[in-house]
Structure 1
């Protein structure tokens, strides 16, 4: 089992668990880049420990799984909705 950073062990406010080829992961990164939000990437490719941790802590095994200040907000759709409603800015303030 490999090691991986947990959201509360990272000093970035935003952590994205992803795989490099996932289109929703790419879209989430693009949105955050556009908003100039700094984030930490955790690639879960071949990392069973990280996938198990994600499933246990979010109820999901799909990527991306996005955490803001240690709180799971879901995937790209939830991030996009949060951004459109101004909640992303509020959470990062």
Structure 2
């Protein structure tokens, strides 16, 4: 396993919800990442974010790790969920909120 894969696996396994994104939740660097942050904030769940723009190994490695070509990418309890379009579809259908409840994801601290 590559060093990038180990680092990705480590952060995914240690956090209930992880968003690999461009930028940070306070300063998203693309519209898709901004939408993903807004969705997670609306779900009121605690999540870890990883700025792929800060590390090219992670930026390329996450695409191979998930076998998904685009960023952002959402992981819940170690499982890949999808990108911002899938997040939006699931959120609008209430499925993302159900997934968070089923997986007993911690609520965001106020």
- Please give the range of the TM-score, normalised by the shorter of the 2 chains: 0.7 to 0.9
TM-score, L = length of structure 1: 0.81
Q: Select which of 67, 71, 83 maps to 1:63.
A: 71
> Which residues of 2 match residues 37-48 of structure 1 at below 5 A?
37-48=45-56
* Unpaired stretches in structure 2, ≥5 consecutive residues: 24-28, 102-110
Query: What stretches of structure 1 of length at least 5 have no aligned partner?
Result: none
Report the CA distance between 1:52 and its aligned residue. 3.3
The structure in which a higher percent of residues are helix is 2
Provide Cα deviations, 1:24-70, integer angstroms capped at 9, x if missing partner: 10111011112212211100114122123312221224210111111
- CA–CA distance in 1 between the matches of 2:56 and 2:33? 18
User: Aligned-pair distance for 1:9?
Assistant: 2.3
**Residue of structure 1 equivalent to 2:20:** 17
The Cα RMSD (Å) is: 2.0
For residues 6 and 65 of structure 1, what CA distance do their matches in structure 2 show? 13
Greater than 4 Å deviation, 4+ residue runs: 1-5
Number of corresponding residues: 91
TM-score (norm. length: structure 2): 0.70
Match of 1:85 in 2: 93
For residues 61 and 19 of structure 1, what CA distance do their matches in structure 2 show? 14
